[in-house]
A and B are shown apart, each in its own frame.
Chain A
Amino acid sequence: MLQLTPQTIRIVNIYDDGTNAKHFTFEPKGFVHDKPIGIGQFFMLTLPGAGLAPFTYTSLPDENGRFNALIRKVGRLTENLFSLKEGDVLGYNGPLGNGWPVEQFEDKKVLIVAGGCGLAPVATTIDYLINNNRGESVTLLYGARDLGSQVLTKERARWQTKITLCETLEEGADNAHSGLPTQHLLQTIKEYGGLPSIVLTCGPEVMMKAVAKTCIDSGLQSSDVWMSVERRMRCGVGLCGHCYVANSYACKQGPAYRYDDYLSLNNKMVSTQQHQGAFQYC
């Protein structure tokens, strides 16, 4: 049977990490992680009295079971979350879903394109590759609205010397770094050693689609591109129905989808094929 009732976690640390974003550290209370947590998986948080929503791990549990999550204030639930303090308790259900296929990376050249808070779901991947002495094979193209909106400040500082890191800003950057990450994609590929073997992208859905298209136009297979799809979620275990992508549920088959799978799912729905969402960083 599935377990919908959450386990209890305690907030042990909170710090500001970008405009309207905070980085939380949680600690299990009265339980130990009994399942290994895959890179790119997510968890559901229950905020008693306010609701439940999905969040991604920005770090895997340490020896005390502590893990991190980057959370942007976007609605009522996160507003409530931001009013909590160290020591407060929350509900936790995880790990859930399918993450990135890190086992397929081997010695491949990896390009990661992230937009806004879309950096959070790729953070554990970057750390994983660095920890496996693969940092040199990683290029991260990270786009945000402006300097203040950039998240994972500490992580990026740590990554700076270990991977190739390019950052773009919609506002307030010099010409070479101004605009959307998609506008810099070809240049980035050219400058940093040519076509990657695998691409991970996470951010607004239109951005991810544009990234995939550019990469495919440049010669990559659609099966070389992976994306992490965001959906409203009310259960995380394939029951509530909210997170559908055609006949799949993002909480089960996703949130990481191989682009060709995502495309064939979307192509099953005539009206969804036609509908292009707006570009909006979260």
Chain B
Amino acid sequence: MLNHSYLLKDLDILKQHLAKFYSMVQIEKDANGEERWTDQSDPDTVGLFGHKHLPSTSPKGFLFAEKEALYKFDGETFESITPQVVPKVLFGVQACDLTAIAYQDKFFKQDPYYQKRRENILLVGIDCESPCTNGFCAEVKAGPHVNDNTADLVVSRLTVNGSNQLAEWLVIAETEKGQNSIKGLPLDKAHKAHFILRNRLLDKMRSEFADYSYINNAIEYLNDNAVPQHLWEEMSVRCLSCSGCTNLCPTCSCYSTYEIAEKQPDNVISETKAVKTETLRVWDSCLFEGFQREASGHNPAQQAAQRVERFWFHKFSDEYLTEFQRYGCVGCGRCEQTCPGTIGVHSVMKRINQECCS
């Protein structure tokens, strides 16, 4: 790692350099003052950076599009619709979201649409400097510093108490892609001392997190199947099936499909005689009542309790460890922030912990 590590005074130099080759995606405030991942951002705009600005939406949509066409039918044959992509740099992705991208990389390994987008994205990660509002990344090993091999480039601020003699930023190129992306940029090499400082800052930050030990206690209860049915029922009464959690969750991957059809002008009888149709996919949610409902009406997840339990099972079950080497939850805390029924991750895990340890 030391081999491909550099020092940087001003992050803007890196950004301007990358903007020559990549379309810039960074966190900005929109017209309503909401912080968002913004596509085709003007590289001269100062992006929002780091733990203070974890946007309520993750950058998931840049890889797994919220809505996209899969294939079209011309009346005789089907043809794939390949996503139109330009090289993009996601500049300043926090550790939790990078961990989520690494998770989805595995899930969508064989998905041509996801991979097409993924190939064209350069990930610049940033080490967080203090805990964010609802984040508990440290508890689920997703942060607060960027996990190895989850970004192409990592930037880490080496400032202690507002000043630092060593350098302002440490830049680590973790992949060949990252290494290539900074070719031609005159940068000094980093030294061991810089990494020691980075680790010291990490330790300091870790100690600043609130006591989130209930998260891991609850994970254990969940996996022991110790959460009583009545608790799932009580919590699920609060689920409004709004899909806020699943949309915002950076690892949720479910989708539905639908068709749009261009009908024959004078055919009013049959929908099926469409000349041209397109099949699209769109994010879906296992919290919707009809998510598993079959055409016959049979619904294996008829009870809200089943659906709520499903969500948490998918985030915290040990059963997924073999496939993903980690839990589905990366500790971003977005579901806590958004859930109108207050059954986001903190509320749920606290209740499970309380119920099960009493």
Contacts and interface: CB of A to CB of B under 8 A. Distances in A.
A36 interface: no
Q: Chain A, interface size: which category?
A: 35 or more
B294 interface: yes
Q: Which secondary structure characterizes the binding site on chain A?
A: loop
Contacts of A81: 272
A268 interface: yes
A277 B302 contact: yes
Given A49-B274, A280-B297, A5 B71 contact: yes
A246 B254 contact: no
Contacts of B277: 48-49
Nearest to B292: A232
Interface in B237-259: 253-259
B242 to A, nearest CB: 18
Interface in B244-283: 253-259, 261, 263, 270-272, 274, 277, 279, 281
A76 B274 CA distance: 15
Nearest to B257: A234
A270 B229 contact: yes
B298 A271 contact: no
B306 interface: yes
A277 B298 contact: yes
B300 A4 contact: no
Contacts of A205: 298, 300
Contact of A49 (B271, B286, B293): B271
A147 B280 CA distance: 41
B255 A230 contact: no
A241 B76 contact: no
A275 B306 contact: yes
B214 interface: no
A173 interface: no
B256 to A, nearest CB: 5
B296 A51 contact: no
B354 to A, nearest CB: 17
B110 interface: yes
Nearest to A84: B272
A98 B155 CA distance: 46
A271 B112 contact: no
Nearest to A74: B295
B309 A270 contact: yes
A8 B256 contact: no
A242 B319 contact: no
Interface in B208-259: 225, 227-229, 232-233, 253-259
Contacts of B195: none
B320 to A, nearest CB: 6
B78 A8 contact: yes
B107 to A, nearest CB: 8
B126 interface: no
A264 B263 CA distance: 48
B286 A241 contact: yes
A29 B259 CA distance: 22
A71 to B, nearest CB: 11
A247 B324 CA distance: 12
A78 interface: yes
B77 interface: yes
A245 B115 CA distance: 26
Contacts of B78: 5-8, 46, 91
Given A30-B77, A280-B297, A51 B258 contact: yes
B232 A52 contact: no
Contacts of B254: 240-242
Nearest to B276: A48
A187 interface: no
B306 A239 contact: no
B309 A271 contact: yes
B73 interface: yes
A50 interface: yes
B70 A231 contact: no
B43 to A, nearest CB: 33
Contacts of A280: 296-298
Interface string A77-91: 110110110001101
B296 A282 contact: yes
Q: Which among A52, A235, A271 has the highest number of chain B CB atoms within 10 Å?
A: A271
A7 to B, nearest CB: 7
A193 interface: no
Given A230-B298, A231-B300, A282-B296, A267 B225 contact: yes
Contact of A53 (B227, B256, B281, B295): B295
B225 A4 contact: no
Interface in B76-117: 76-80, 108, 110-113, 115
A205 B299 CA distance: 10
B29 interface: no
A267 to B, nearest CB: 7
Given A49-B274, A240-B256, 10 more contacts: A53-B295, A74-B294, A77-B295, A91-B73, A232-B292, A241-B255, A243-B292, A271-B232, A271-B309, A274-B229
Interface of B: 70-71, 73, 76-80, 108, 110-113, 115, 225, 227-229, 232-233, 253-259, 261, 263, 270-272, 274, 277, 279, 281, 284, 286, 291-303, 305-306, 309-310, 313, 317, 319-320
Closest 4 CB pairs of A and B: A75-B295, A241-B254, A49-B261, A247-B319
